[in-house]
Amino acid sequence: MSSGVFVVGLGAITAIGNNVAGCLAALEARRPGMGDMHWLESVHRGEIPVAEVKMDNEELAAACALSGTGSGRTALLSLIAAREALEDATGSLKDAGIDRSSLRTGFISANTVGGMDKSERFFADFLSDPRKGRLRDVVQHECGSVTEWVAEQLGIRDYMTTISTACSSSANSIFFAARMIRHGLLDMAVAGGTDALTKFTLNGFNTLMILDRGYCKPFDENRNGLNLGEGAGYLVLVSERVANSMRAAGHGGKYYCRLSGYCNANDAYHQTASSPEGTGSYLAMKGALEGSGLQPADIGYINLHGTGTQNNDMAEGIAIRRLFDPHFPAMSSTKSFTGHTLGASGGVEAVFSALSVKHGLVYPNLRWQTAMVGLPFIPERAFRKNEPIRHVMSNSFGFGGNCSSLIFSKD
């Protein structure tokens, strides 16, 4: 098994930007993406803020150079970000004289809603009469259909699969892609995830009473819940052999970082709530550190799961205290910008984490005012660059007790 898996391409679309550069500019300018519901049609408009990608489906399709809006929003978001990541990587590979078509390439994606945005429309007619509803509105209902459609658009056929583990979905797809590369089954993979805002998830989270009616305040004592967001985020991962060829051709500097550690653990406490002691989060972070051979003090920045709910932030905070005390790295939740993008969040935040390692960036945790009782650390409030960061941890925890942590390293 070869040891290294390297990040050579990034792509993202969220409420704060339609590409990686746009997202980064918003992070630096402290410009959050949440606001009144504009594109999603729901009775909760005006009452529950959301972090929407600022385009309707026709504009998203146009951005994919497709005509019409045949595809659902989850797939369109996925294609935009995955294509950006692949083009980013292809440029670097080409510079190094590597022909992409010679690499066994996989598309390992994740989502939780599939084509639910269109299934909702179908259902309104179908419920009145089971012979009604346009069938083309449910062809992407399955999560896997979204991946399949995007893989076809990208021309990736060697391997594709889809993971759905709620809010940790795309951390697990990055994790799985890295393992396939390490086992020699793939040379390169586009890995991450996507999710669109839907009435289904908005109302689902609303019934759990964990949606903030204002803008979320992760890791603040007076936090009131999360804001739902949407988007997609992907990394292009390559094997050590491909990375070495890039280095040998003098283009080693083109890669962003190495994926040095990962771990998936289960909280096994409750279907939707985290255990008070954050067992799953603790085990995921600890396992990722062990896998990378690092000590807690080596981590320079943690991109927190930090949803802004009472339950998550306390469980995650306690797990961090237990593992890192007394060496607390800089920490922040970029969900204070993007909202919680569910199945996309692990991918989006992996993109932010890779940029953090590459450029020494620390992102601000917006709207933070009051330290949480019982936690001996507070999140970062300023955007900082050129920090001497060597290792970044990215946390993704979710329903079903599914907890995953990834570590990105320089060198």
Partner 1 sequence: MEFYIQAASAISPKNSLSREPDYTSLIDPKLIRRMSRIIRMSVAAALSCLQEAGVSNPDAIVTGTAYGCLADTGIFLSKVVEQKEEMLPPTAFIQSTHNTVGGQIALMLHCHGYNNTFVHRGHSFESALLDAMLILREKEDSKVLVGGLDEITDISQAILSRFGLYRYAVAGEGAAFFLLTGRKTASTCARLQGLDTFYKPKDDAEIEDRIHSFLASLMLRPEDIDLVIMGNNGDIAGDKIYGQLASSPFNGSAMIRYKDFCGEYPTSGSFALWLAVDAIREGRAERVLIYNHYLGIYHSLMLVSR
Any idea which residue has 């932030």 for tokens? 313
Instruction: Kindly tell me which of 44 and 384 has the beta carbon lying closer to partner 1.
Output: 44
Q: From CA 80, how far away is CA 285, in angstroms rounded? A: 30
Instruction: Kindly tell me which of 270 and 327 has the beta carbon lying closer to partner 1.
Output: 270
The catalytically annotated residue of 167, 216, 263, 403 is 167
Instruction: Kindly tell me which of 329 and 343 has the beta carbon lying closer to partner 1.
Output: 343
The answer to whether 143 is a known catalytic residue is no
**Which ranges of 96-142 would DSSP assign to H, the alpha helix?**
116-126
Q: Does 164 bind partner 1 (CB under 8 A)?
A: yes
Cβ atoms of 115 and 72 within 8 Å: the answer is: yes
Of the candidate residues 3, 67, 101, 271, the single one contacting partner 1 (CB under 8 A) = 271
Q: Does 117 bind partner 1 (CB under 8 A)?
A: no
**Encoding tokens for residue 318?**
């306690």
CA 139 to each of CA 114, 156, 355, 366: distance values in angstroms, whole numbers, following the listed order: 10, 20, 36, 39
The catalytically annotated residue of 143, 257, 340, 403 is 340
Q: From CA 385, how far away is CA 300, in angstroms rounded? A: 12
CA angle, corner 261, sides to 32 and 160, nearest 5?
80
Of the candidate residues 54, 66, 123, 384, the single one contacting partner 1 (CB under 8 A) = 123
CA 258 to each of CA 48, 119, 160, 358: distance values in angstroms, whole numbers, following the listed order: 39, 39, 22, 10
Of the candidate residues 118, 199, 358, 391, the single one contacting partner 1 (CB under 8 A) = 199
Q: Does 101 bind partner 1 (CB under 8 A)?
A: no
Of the candidate residues 18, 145, 153, 333, the single one contacting partner 1 (CB under 8 A) = 145
Q: Which of residues 374-403 bind partner 1 (CB under 8 A)?
A: 398-402
Of the candidate residues 86, 180, 299, 355, the single one contacting partner 1 (CB under 8 A) = 180
By the 10 Å C-beta count (0-12 exposed, 13-18 middle, 19+ buried), 256 is classed as buried
Q: Does a cis peptide bond (omega within 30 degrees of 0) precede residue 32?
A: no
Q: Does 126 bind partner 1 (CB under 8 A)?
A: yes
The answer to whether 167 is a known catalytic residue is yes
The torsion region of residue 125 among left (phi > 0), alpha (psi -120 to 50) and beta comes to alpha
Instruction: Kindly tell me which of 88 and 316 has the beta carbon lying closer to partner 1.
Output: 316
Q: Does 176 bind partner 1 (CB under 8 A)?
A: yes
Q: From CA 341, how far away is CA 343, in angstroms rounded? A: 6
The answer to whether 251 is a known catalytic residue is no
- Residues belonging to the active site: 167, 305, 340
Residues near partner 1 (CB under 8 A)? 1, 42-44, 112, 116, 119-120, 123-124, 126-127, 130-131, 135, 138, 142-145, 147-148, 157, 159-166, 172, 176, 179-180, 183, 199-200, 203-204, 206-208, 264-272, 279-280, 283, 398-402
